[in-house]
C-alpha cells in the first residue's frame, strides 16, 4: 500500500500556470459531461503550421520527493474530424520539466526544459462528440526524477494540436507509516529510480526492545517489502495487537524473549502490573540460579538416621536424606568435624574425607586419618540452593559422637646406622609420624641383601635404637623397622640398606663374658627374643591384623574349601561366634576325614567377621602335631566356616572331668608334654597365645592334646578395658599381663602352669570358687595353688616355677619340655607325691602322726592338704618353722597352723588316716 503525496496541485489557472507571451494557450471555462463548469487551458491552432505554444506551471517545490508523477487530464480533437487541416494538425503534445531552486523564474529558455515525453491521446473526440456533449477525457501519467534542485517547473508544448488541459496533478509516492514486528517504520518517500529501494530502520514500539535491528525497504511504488529483524516486548509486557501491554497482577514476564505473561509459579505472587518476577511467599525462597519460572522452595530439613561405624582411626558415616527436601532436588551435605576433649574444636586439615567434606551428593562419607582413641563429633549439614538465601536461616543438621579405636602405628619413616664395624652397627630411627598410642616396642627385621628375605633375623627393643651384632663383614644388610602399640604392629618401614666394614683393620678382639645367674632358668633370657631368631629360616608368625585387608591374610594363610565338599553331621557345641559342628570333609584326591566346623552366625558385624576369620589366619600359619590343624575356610558363601581336624574327645577340661582319676600319672604327663611341645612351637614362632587353659586344649582319640583357640590375642588388644571385664581369664593369666598387659611367652608359661594344675586335678577349677578379685589379691600376696591330690612333687614344683612372680625366672617351654621328657624317661621320679613327702617327713620324726583333713577345708584354702604358701619369716613357733624349713616344706607352715598344728608337739597327733 503506498500513498501518493500531492505536490501543490497545478490547476490550469493563470496564477500558477502561464503561457509564454507568444503562446496561443488560452484559459477557457467549459462544462463537463455533468454540466459542471470547469476551467481549462486550450490551444487549437491546427490550421497554421509550425506551432510552438508553451504553457508553463509555477515553480513546484520538490518537498523531498525524488521522483514525481505528473497526471495530465486532457481532451484532444481528432484531426480527421477537422476539415482542411491535413498536414498541420497534430494529435500529441510534449511534456517538459526544468529543475530550479528559484521559485520565481519569470523567463526560462525553451532549451532549459528537458523533455519528459510526447503525450498522445488514447481517445480523441470529433464534432459529433462535441454536439453530443461527450467529453472524451484522457488521463496520462508520466514520472520524472527530480533530485538536483529544490523544485521544478513543468511545461506543455503544443506543436499544432487541438487540446484542452483539464487538470494537471503532480504528486510523489511514499511508503506509509507502518508497524511491523513491533517496530514503527515512518512514512517514507520512495527512491529516485523506479528500481531503487529505500532502506528504512524501524524504531521499537513503547515497552519493547530490539531483538534484531528492525529494517524494511520501501519500494519505488510506495510498497513496503518484507521486514527484517524486529522488537520484543520488554520484561513485564506482552504483545497485544502491534503494541506491548503490561502483565496483570498474578502474572509475570521475566525476559523479553518469553512468549507472553505467565501465571506466577507455586508459592509466589505478583501484586502489581508489569511484574518481571513473582515474589516468594513468606518462608519460601529462590536462589540466584533459580529461574523465575521455578516454584519458590525451602531449605531441607535435617538429615536422618546418622550412623557411624568406627574402624580403628577411620569412621564411616552414613545417613538417610532429609524428610523434607523443600521442593528441590539439589540437596547436598557437608560434614563438620570436631575433636572433643574438654572443648570441641575443629579437626585439623590432616583428616581425610572421602569422597569429600562438602558438596556431597551421596549419603556416605569415610573419614580417615583420625587420631587413635579420641572423641570426635561429626555434624552432617543438609543444604540446598536456598539454604543461603537471605532469611533462610541456619542449615539443618544431625550429629554423632564417636571415639576412635586404637590403631596400629604408622610406618617408621627414617632409619639410620652409626658406629658401623665389621660385625655390628647401631641402628636408630624416628618415632612414626602417627604412633596412635603408646609405643610398646619396636621390631627390627634384617637380612643380608643377597639372601633376600629367605632368612632374616628379628630384634625387639623398647628404645628407638638397637645395636645389631653378629653381622658378617663387608656385607650389605637390609633393615625394616616397625612399631607396636597395644593395637598391634604397624607396617614395616621401607627397606634401609647398610653395609658392614671390611675386616682388614679389625685385628683386636675383646671379649667380655658377663655371667649372671639369675635363676635356674635364667641361662635362657626369656625376653631376649632376638636370640631365638638368629637361626636363618625360622618361620615367624605374622599377625593378620597387620594386614590392611583381612581377606588378604585369610587367603595367604588358609585354603578356601568348596562348601560342597563338607558334610555336616551334628552340632557338638557353641563357640564364641556360633555353632561348632562335626562332619566330614572330602577333598578331591584325598581320603575323607572327620572335621570340626566352626561357623559365624548370621547378622555379624565387620569386626566379628574379621575376628572370626583371624583365628583361621593365625591357625593356618602353624603346622605342628600339638597345634590344632586348619583344614581350610569357607568365605565365598554363607555362613562363613572354619574347618579344623576333628578331636574326638573334645576339650581337655571336660574330658578330664569325665574321666576323673582314670589315668596314670604317666598318661597325664604325656598330655602335658604334648601341650608343652605345642607351646614351644608357638613361642618359637613368636606367637603369644594369651588364653592357654585346659578348655582350649582339644584331645583326640589317642589322647593327643592340641592347643587351639587362637581368637583371644586380638580381643584383649582391642579392648583396653579387657583386664577389668570378664573377658580376661584372670585365673590363668600372669599378674603382669593382668596389670599392665605384658603378654609374653613367659605369661603363657604361667598359664601353662595352671593347665598343669588343671590336668593333675582332673579338670578342677583353679582357685575353686574364689572370685577373680580375691584370686588376683591372693596371687599378688604370694599365694599359689597347692599341689592337687596325688600330685608328684616334681610336677607341683614345675607349676610353682611357672608361677614365679618375676617372669624372667620362669622356665621356657623348651625347658619345660626337657623336664617332662626326663620325667617320662624316669617315671620313678613321679612316684613321690606332695602328701607322701609331708607325711614321710612327719613320720620320720613322729612315727604315729595324724593326717589333717576337716579343719583344712574350713580354712577356706581348699579341700586338699597340699596348699602351697610362700615362706614368710617364721616367728611365733620357731621350732616348727625351722623343722619345716629343714625338710624343705616350710610352705605348709600356715596350712598346718590353720589346722591347729602350731608346734612340733601337736604334730604328734597326726596319723595316716
Ligand atoms: O568340650 P567340647 O566337646 O569340645 O565342646 C567344645 C565345643 O566344640 C565348642 O568349642 C568342641 N570343639 C571345638 N573344636 C573341636 C574340634 N576340632 N574337634 C572336636 N570338638 C571340637 C569343643
Q: What is the CATH number of the domain that holds 639?
A: 3.30.200.20
Question: Does residue 587 share a domain with residue 564?
Answer: yes
Of 233, 259, 274, the residue at which a domain comes to its end is 233
Question: Does residue 706 share a domain with residue 561?
Answer: no
Ligand 1 atom nearest to CA at 573: 7
Question: Does residue 184 share a domain with residue 169?
Answer: no
Among residues 395, 381, 380, 239, which one has the least CA distance to residue 315? 380
pLDDT reading at 525 higher than 60: no
Nearest CA to ligand 1 atom 10: 575
The CA 488 to ligand 1 mean position distance, Å, reads 29
Q: Which of 579, 583, 596, 678 to mutate to test the pocket of ligand 1 (most atoms within 8 A of CB)?
A: 596
pLDDT at 65: 94
Residues having CB within 6 Å of any atom of ligand 1:
572-575, 580, 596, 628, 644-647, 650-651, 654, 698
pLDDT at 834: 67
The CA 573 to ligand 1 mean position distance, Å, reads 6
Q: What percent of the chain has pLDDT over 70?
A: 82
Ligand 1 atom nearest to CA at 653: 1
Nearest CA to ligand 1 atom 5: 573
577 known ligand binder: yes
CA-CA-CA-CA torsion for 800, 803, 805, 808, nearest 10 degrees?
100
- The CATH number of residue 90's host domain is 2.60.120.260
pLDDT reading at 524 higher than 60: no
> Among 18-32, 392-406, 473-487, which stretch is predicted with the lowest mean pLDDT?
18-32
Question: Does residue 626 share a domain with residue 687?
Answer: no
Q: What percent of the chain has pLDDT over 90?
A: 56
> Among 77-81, 495-499, 537-541, which stretch is predicted with the lowest mean pLDDT?
537-541
The CA 650 to ligand 1 mean position distance, Å, reads 5
Residue 732, phi then psi, degrees to nearest 5:
-100, -5
Nearest CA to ligand 1 atom 21: 650
pLDDT reading at 324 higher than 50: yes
Question: Does residue 574 share a domain with residue 657?
Answer: no
Q: CB atoms < 10 A from the CB of 498, how many?
A: 20
CA 472 to chain CA centroid, nearest Å:
51
Among residues 75, 64, 62, 38, which one has the least CA distance to residue 170? 62
The CA 693 to ligand 1 mean position distance, Å, reads 14
> Among 134-143, 282-291, 434-443, 812-821, which stretch is predicted with the lowest mean pLDDT?
434-443
Question: Does residue 764 share a domain with residue 661?
Answer: yes
When pLDDT is averaged across residues 502-509 and rounded to a whole number, the result is 38
Ligand 1 atom nearest to CA at 648: 19
580 known ligand binder: yes
Nearest CA to ligand 1 atom 7: 573
Residues 6+ apart with CB under 8 A from 372: 312, 313, 404, 405, 406, 407, 434, 436, 437, 485, 487
pLDDT at 512: 26
Q: Which of 568, 572, 615 to mutate to test the pocket of ligand 1 (most atoms within 8 A of CB)?
A: 572
Write down the mean pLDDT value for the chain: 83
pLDDT at 229: 94
pLDDT digits (tens, 9 = 90+) for 818-832: 999 999 888 888 888
- The CATH number of residue 227's host domain is 2.60.40.1770
548 known ligand binder: no
Question: Does residue 591 share a domain with residue 689?
Answer: no
Active site positions, annotated: 691
Among residues 549, 533, 675, which one has the least CA distance to residue 617? 549
Question: Does residue 672 share a domain with residue 569?
Answer: no
pLDDT at 802: 97
717 is a domain residue: no
900 is a domain residue: no
Are β-strands 375-383 and 364-368 bridged in parallel, bridged antiparallel, or unpaired?
Answer: unpaired
The CA 407 to ligand 1 mean position distance, Å, reads 33
pLDDT reading at 860 higher than 50: no
Ligand 1 atom nearest to CA at 645: 17
Helix (H) or strand (E) holding 580: strand 579-585
Nearest CA to ligand 1 atom 19: 647
pLDDT digits (tens, 9 = 90+) for 229-255: 999 999 999 999 999 999 999 999 999
Per the DSSP assignment, residues forming a β-bridge with 115 are 96
- The CATH number of residue 465's host domain is 2.60.40.10
Instruction: List the grid coordinates of 655.
Output: 574330658
Q: Which of 576, 647, 701 to mutate to test the pocket of ligand 1 (most atoms within 8 A of CB)?
A: 647
Whole-prediction pTM: 0.43
- The CATH number of residue 677's host domain is 1.10.510.10
pLDDT reading at 907 higher than 80: no
256 is a domain residue: no
CA-CA-CA-CA torsion for 900, 906, 911, 913, nearest 10 degrees?
-10
856 is a domain residue: no
Burial of 129 per CB tally in 10 Å (0-12, 13-18, 19+): middle
pLDDT at 845: 41
The CA 580 to ligand 1 mean position distance, Å, reads 7
pLDDT band at 897 (very low <50, low <70, confident <90, very high): confident
Provide the residue range defining the domain that includes 437.
415-500
User: Regarding predicted confidence, which is higher, 527 or 415?
Assistant: 415
When pLDDT is averaged across residues 757-769 and rounded to a whole number, the result is 95
User: Regarding predicted confidence, which is higher, 349 or 560?
Assistant: 560
Among residues 805, 896, 787, which one has the least CA distance to residue 851? 896
Question: Does residue 770 share a domain with residue 629?
Answer: no
pLDDT digits (tens, 9 = 90+) for 430-476: 888 888 777 888 999 999 888 777 778 888 888 889 999 888 888 89
pLDDT band at 868 (very low <50, low <70, confident <90, very high): very low
pLDDT at 440: 84
598 known ligand binder: yes
574 known ligand binder: yes
pLDDT reading at 682 higher than 90: yes
Report the Cα–Cα distance between both ends of the chain, in Å, rounded: 149
Listed ranges 80-84, 262-266, 288-292, 437-441; the one with the highest mean pLDDT: 262-266
Nearest CA to ligand 1 atom 15: 596
**Structural contact between residues 42 and 4, judged by C-beta atoms closer than 8 angstroms:** no
Among residues 141, 148, 142, 140, which one has the least CA distance to residue 192? 148
The CA 626 to ligand 1 mean position distance, Å, reads 15
pLDDT at 871: 32
pLDDT reading at 133 higher than 60: yes
pLDDT reading at 504 higher than 50: no
Residue 297, phi then psi, degrees to nearest 5:
-130, 180
572 known ligand binder: yes
Question: Does residue 124 share a domain with residue 203?
Answer: no
User: Regarding predicted confidence, which is higher, 873 or 662?
Assistant: 662
pLDDT at 837: 57
**Structural contact between residues 679 and 625, judged by C-beta atoms closer than 8 angstroms:** no
Nearest CA to ligand 1 atom 3: 650
Nearest CA to ligand 1 atom 4: 650
The CA 572 to ligand 1 mean position distance, Å, reads 7
**Structural contact between residues 343 and 404, judged by C-beta atoms closer than 8 angstroms:** no
Measured between alpha carbons, how far is 717 from 729 in angstroms, rounded to an integer? 14
Q: Which of 698, 700, 704, 708 to mutate to test the pocket of ligand 1 (most atoms within 8 A of CB)?
A: 698
799 known ligand binder: no
DSSP, collapsed to helix, strand or coil, labels residue 694 as helix
Nearest CA to ligand 1 atom 1: 651
pLDDT reading at 534 higher than 70: no
pLDDT digits (tens, 9 = 90+) for 704-750: 999 999 975 555 554 555 444 457 899 999 999 999 888 999 999 99
**Structural contact between residues 743 and 737, judged by C-beta atoms closer than 8 angstroms:** yes
Burial 552-590 (b: 16+ CB within 10 A, else e): ebbbebbeebeeebbeeeeebeebbbbbbbbbebebeee
Among residues 219, 223, 249, 243, which one has the least CA distance to residue 231? 243
Nearest CA to ligand 1 atom 14: 596
pLDDT at 12: 42
263 is a domain residue: no
> Among 321-325, 603-607, 732-736, 867-871, which stretch is predicted with the lowest mean pLDDT?
867-871
Ligand 1 atom nearest to CA at 644: 17
Measured between alpha carbons, how far is 386 from 388 in angstroms, rounded to an integer? 5
The domain total for the chain is 6
- Residue showing cell 549439614: 381
pLDDT at 698: 97
The CA 561 to ligand 1 mean position distance, Å, reads 20
Nearest CA to ligand 1 atom 2: 650
Question: Does residue 27 share a domain with residue 100?
Answer: yes
Instruction: List the grid coordinates of 764.
Output: 578342677
The CA 651 to ligand 1 mean position distance, Å, reads 6
**Structural contact between residues 110 and 77, judged by C-beta atoms closer than 8 angstroms:** no
When pLDDT is averaged across residues 418-436 and rounded to a whole number, the result is 88
pLDDT at 816: 96
pLDDT reading at 523 higher than 70: no
278 is a domain residue: no
pLDDT at 408: 82
Question: Does residue 671 share a domain with residue 769?
Answer: yes
Residue 816, phi then psi, degrees to nearest 5:
-60, -45
pLDDT digits (tens, 9 = 90+) for 176-233: 999 999 999 999 999 999 888 999 999 999 999 999 999 999 999 999 998 999 999 9
Of 481, 500, 519, the residue at which a domain comes to its end is 500
909 is a domain residue: no
Measured between alpha carbons, how far is 489 from 313 in angstroms, rounded to an integer? 15
Instruction: List the grid coordinates of 18.
Output: 502561464
Q: Which of 578, 649, 651, 699 to mutate to test the pocket of ligand 1 (most atoms within 8 A of CB)?
A: 651
**Structural contact between residues 34 and 94, judged by C-beta atoms closer than 8 angstroms:** no
Of 836, 868, 896, the residue at which a domain comes to its end is 836
The CA 681 to ligand 1 mean position distance, Å, reads 22
pLDDT reading at 532 higher than 80: no
183 is a domain residue: yes
Amino acid at each position: 500500500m503506498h500513498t501518493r503525496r500531492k505536490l501543490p496541485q497545478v490547476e490550469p489557472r493563470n496564477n500558477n500556470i502561464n503561457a509564454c507571451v507568444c503562446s496561443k494557450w488560452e484559459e477557457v471555462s467549459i462544462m463537463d459531461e455533468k454540466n459542471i463548469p470547469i476551467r481549462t487551458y486550450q490551444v487549437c491552432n491546427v490550421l497554421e503550421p509550425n506551432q510552438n505554444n508553451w504553457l508553463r506551471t509555477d515553480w513546484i517545490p520538490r518537498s523531498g520527493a525524488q521522483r514525481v508523477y505528473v497526471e495530465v487530464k486532457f481532451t484532444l480533437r481528432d484531426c480527421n474530424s477537422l476539415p482542411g487541416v491535413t498536414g498541420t494538425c497534430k494529435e500529441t503534445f510534449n511534456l517538459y520539466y526544468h529543475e530550479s531552486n528559484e521559485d520565481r523564474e519569470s523567463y526560462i529558455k525553451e532549451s532549459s526544459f528537458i523533455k519528459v515525453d510526447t503525450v498522445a491521446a488514447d481517445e480523441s473526440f470529433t464534432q459529433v462528440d462535441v454536439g453530443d456533449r461527450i467529453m472524451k477525457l484522457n488521463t496520462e501519467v508520466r514520472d520524472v526524477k527530480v533530485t538536483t534542485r529544490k523544485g521544478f517547473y513543468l511545461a506543455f508544448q503544443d506543436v499544432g494540436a487541438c487540446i484542452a488541459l483539464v487538470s494537471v496533478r503532480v504528486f510523489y509516492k511514499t511508503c506509509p507509516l507502518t508497524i511491523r514486528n513491533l517496530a514503527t517504520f515512518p512514512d517514507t518517500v520512495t527512491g529516485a529510480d523506479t528500481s531503487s529501494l529505500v532502506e528504512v530502520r524501524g524504531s521499537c514500539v513503547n515497552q519493547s526492545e530490539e531483538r534484531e535491528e528492525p529494517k524494511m525497504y520501501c519500494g519505488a511504488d510506495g510498497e513496503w517489502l518484507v521486514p527484517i529483524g524486529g522488537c520484543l516486548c520488554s520484561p513485564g509486557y506482552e504483545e497485544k495487537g502491534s503494541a506491548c501491554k503490561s502483565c496483570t497482577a498474578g502474572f509475570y514476564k521475566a525476559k523479553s524473549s518469553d512468549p507472553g505473561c505467565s501465571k506466577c509459579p507455586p508459592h509466589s505472587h505478583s501484586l502489581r502490573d508489569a511484574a518481571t518476577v513473582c515474589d516468594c511467599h513468606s518462608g519460601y525462597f529462590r536462589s540466584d540460579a533459580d529461574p523465575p519460572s521455578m516454584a519458590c522452595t525451602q531449605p531441607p530439613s535435617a538429615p536422618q538416621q546418622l550412623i557411624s561405624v568406627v574402624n580403628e582411626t577411620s569412621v564411616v558415616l552414613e545417613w538417610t536424606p532429609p524428610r523434607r527436601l523443600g521442593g528441590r532436588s539439589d540437596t547436598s551435605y557437608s560434614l563438620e568435624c570436631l575433636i572433643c576433649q574438654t572443648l570441641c574444636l575443629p579437626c585439623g586439615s590432616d583428616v581425610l574425607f572421602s569422597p569429600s567434606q562438602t558438596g556431597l551428593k551421596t549419603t556416605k562419607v569415610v573419614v580417615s586419618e583420625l587420631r587413635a582413641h579420641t572423641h570426635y563429633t561429626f555434624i552432617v549439614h543438609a543444604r540446598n540452593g536456598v539454604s543461603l538465601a537471605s532469611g533462610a536461616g541456619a542449615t539443618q543438621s544431625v550429629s554423632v559422637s564417636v571415639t576412635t579405636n586404637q590403631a596400629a602405628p604408622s610406618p617408621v619413616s627414617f632409619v639410620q646406622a652409626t658406629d658401623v664395624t665389621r660385625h655390628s652397627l647401631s641402628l636408630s630411627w624416628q618415632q612414626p609420624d602417627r604412633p596412635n598410642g603408646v609405643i610398646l616396642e619396636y621390631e627390627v627385621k634384617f637380612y643380608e641383601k643377597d639372601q633376600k628375605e629367605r632368612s632374616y633375623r628379628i630384634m625387639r627393643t623398647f628404645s628407638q635404637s638397637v645395636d645389631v651384632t653378629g653381622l658378617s663383614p663387608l656385607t650389605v644388610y637390609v633393615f625394616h623397622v616397625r612399631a607396636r602399640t597395644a593395637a598391634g604392629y604397624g607396617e614395616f618401614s621401607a627397606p634401609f640398606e647398610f653395609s658392614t666394614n671390611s675386616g682388614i683393620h679389625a685385628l683386636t678382639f675383646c671379649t667380655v663374658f658377663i655371667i649372671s645367674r639369675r635363676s635356674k632358668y635364667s641361662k635362657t633370657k626369656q625376653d631376649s627374643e632376638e636370640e631365638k631368631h638368629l637361626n636363618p629360616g625360622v618361620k615367624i608368625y605374622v599377625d593378620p591384623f597387620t594386614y590392611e585387608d583381612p581377606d588378604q591374610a585369610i587367603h595367604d594363610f588358609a585354603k578356601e574349601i568348596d562348601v560342597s565338599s563338607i558334610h555336616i553331621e551334628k552340632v557338638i557345641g557353641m563357640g564364641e561366634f556360633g555353632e561348632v559342628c562335626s562332619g566330614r570333609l572330602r577333598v578331591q584326591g584325598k581320603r575323607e576325614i572327620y572335621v570340626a566346623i566352626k561357623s559365624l552366625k548370621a547378622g555379624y558385624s565387620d569386626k566379628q567377621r574379621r575376628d572370626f576369620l583371624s583365628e583361621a589366619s593365625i591357625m593356618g600359619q602353624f603346622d605342628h602335631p600339638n597345634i590344632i590343624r586348619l583344614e581350610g575356610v569357607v568365605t565365598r558363601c554363607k555362613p562363613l566356616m572354619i574347618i579344623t581336624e576333628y578331636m574326638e574327645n573334645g576339650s581337655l577340661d571336660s574330658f578330664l572331668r569325665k574321666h576323673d582319676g582314670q589315668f596314670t600319672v604317666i598318661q597325664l604327663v604325656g598330655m602335658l608334654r604334648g601341650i608343652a611341645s605345642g607351646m614351644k612351637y608357638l613361642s618359637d614362632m613368636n606367637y603369644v597365645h594369651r588364653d592357654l587353659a585346659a578348655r582350649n586344649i582339644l584331645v583326640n582319640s589317642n589322647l593327643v592334646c592340641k592347643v587351639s583357640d587362637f581368637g583371644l590375642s586380638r580381643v584383649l588388644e582391642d579392648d583396653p578395658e579387657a583386664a577389668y571385664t570378664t573377658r580376661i581369664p584372670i585365673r590363668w593369666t600372669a599378674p603382669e599381663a593382668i596389670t599392665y598387659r605384658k603378654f609374653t611367652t613367659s605369661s603363657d608359661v604361667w598359664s601353662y602352669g595352671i593347665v598343669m594344675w588343671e590336668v593333675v586335678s582332673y579338670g578342677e577349677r583353679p582357685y575353686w570358687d574364689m572370685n577373680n578379685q580375691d584370686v588376683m589379691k591372693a596371687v599378688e600376696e604370694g599365694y599359689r595353688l597347692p599341689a592337687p591330690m596325688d600330685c608328684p612333687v616334681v610336677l607341683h614344683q614345675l607349676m610353682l616355677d611357672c608361677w614365679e612372680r618375676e617372669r624372667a625366672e620362669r622356665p621356657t617351654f623348651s625347658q619345660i619340655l626337657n623336664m617332662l621328657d626326663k620325667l617320662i624317661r624316669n617315671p620313678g621320679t613321679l612316684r613321690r607325691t606332695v602328701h607322701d613327702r609331708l607325711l614321710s617327713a612327719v613320720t620320720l620324726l613322729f612315727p604315729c602322726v595324724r593326717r589333717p583333713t576337716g579343719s583344712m577345708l574350713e580354712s577356706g584354702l581348699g579341700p586338699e592338704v597340699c596348699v602351697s604358701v610362700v615362706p614368710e619369716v617364721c616367728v611365733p613357733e620357731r621350732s616348727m618353722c625351722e623343722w619345716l624349713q629343714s625338710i624343705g616344706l616350710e610352705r605348709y607352715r600356715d596350712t598346718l597352723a590353720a589346722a591347729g598344728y602350731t608346734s612340733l608337739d601337736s604334730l604328734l597327733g597326726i596319723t595316716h588316716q
